[in-house]
């Protein structure tokens, strides 16, 4: 696909996800804690289609830089209520496109690893607070930030499923069977679950992605 068309489609897709989340917030009365994660997961799943949109990583990196600026302005001025965070120290929405751009640069020639490296951020980190808020009963505190064991379990389950699926379903090199994908997916999941549990201020968007990159970079596929 022409990279310019891919860039435009990328922007339209992200703004469509934001619009969907805003619609849910107004229609169903969902709080921004939930709608932020709708955006989180929806945008992260775009990684499954990047090789159909672009023939090299740089147009996507440009889109990531654009959204870093947009998200920083939104954090400062509150343009999108669906993306609002009650924690003003949380710059997670700015770190998200940064992490995605770095992953694309590192793993562009290895599509299964590129997508898998973003699944802890997309689904694990996306589901942890949702599960924690809905079912959390057992709490623990990290630097005055309250977490739940149920939320961490939600991270673990969602992260493992989608990291495993990405490793063997995404076409390209390396070719990984469903059985071969279990061990690296489980390793990534265990490590990133532990890291997410102790990361604060939105830094988990960077720390868990860094861990996933390092593990998949050295894994002997």
Residue 86 has pLDDT above 60, yes or no: no
In this predicted model, what pLDDT tens digit does every residue of 96-109 receive, in sequence order? 999 999 999 999 99
Residue 33 has pLDDT above 90, yes or no: no
In this predicted model, what pLDDT tens digit does every residue of 154-210 receive, in sequence order? 999 999 999 999 999 999 999 999 999 999 999 999 999 999 888 766 688 899 999
Domain that includes residue 97, residue range:
3-218
Give me the pLDDT at residue 91, please. 77
Q: How confident is the model at residue 75 (pLDDT cuts 50, 70, 90)?
A: confident
Give me the pLDDT at residue 136, please. 78
CA nearest neighbour of 64 among 107, 101, 95: 101
Percent of the chain with pLDDT over 70: 92
Q: Are 129 and 34 in contact (CB under 8 A)?
A: no
Q: What is the mean pLDDT of residues 78-83?
A: 69
Q: How many domains in the chain? A: 1
Q: List C-alpha distances in Å: 32 to 20, 69, 108, 221.
A: 13, 20, 33, 40
Q: What is the mean pLDDT of residues 22-35?
A: 79
CA nearest neighbour of 96 among 193, 209, 211, 188: 209
Q: List C-alpha distances in Å: 214 to 7, 58, 121.
A: 28, 21, 14
Whole-angstrom Cα distance, residue 75 to residue 193?
26
Mean of all residue pLDDT scores within the chain: 89
CA nearest neighbour of 114 among 66, 68, 56: 56
């Amino acid at each position: 696909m022409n990279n310019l068309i891919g860039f435009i489609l990328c922007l339209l897709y992200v703004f469509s996800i934001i619009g969907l989340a805003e619609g849910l917030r107004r229609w169903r009365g969902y709080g921004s804690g939930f709608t932020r994660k709708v955006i989180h997961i929806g945008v992260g799943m775009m990684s499954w289609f990047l090789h159909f949109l672009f023939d090299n990583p740089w147009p996507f990196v440009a889109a990531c830089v654009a959204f870093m600026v947009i998200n920083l302005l939104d954090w400062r001025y509150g343009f999108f209520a669906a993306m609002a965070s009650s924690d003003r120290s949380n710059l997670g929405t700015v770190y998200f496109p940064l992490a995605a751009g770095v992953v694309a640069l590192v793993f562009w020639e290895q599509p299964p690893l590129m997508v898998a490296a973003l699944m802890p951020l997309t689904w694990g980190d996306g589901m942890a607070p949702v599960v924690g808020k809905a079912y959390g009963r057992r709490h623990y505190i990290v630097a005055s930030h309250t977490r739940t064991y149920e939320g961490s379990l939600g991270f673990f389950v969602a992260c493992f499923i989608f990291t495993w699926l990405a490793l063997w379903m995404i076409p390209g090199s390396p070719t990984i069977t469903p059985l071969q994908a279990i061990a690296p997916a489980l390793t990534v999941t265990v490590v990133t679950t532990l890291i997410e549990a102790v990361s604060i201020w939105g830094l988990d968007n960077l720390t868990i992605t860094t861990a996933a990159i390092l593990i998949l970079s050295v894994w002997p596929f």
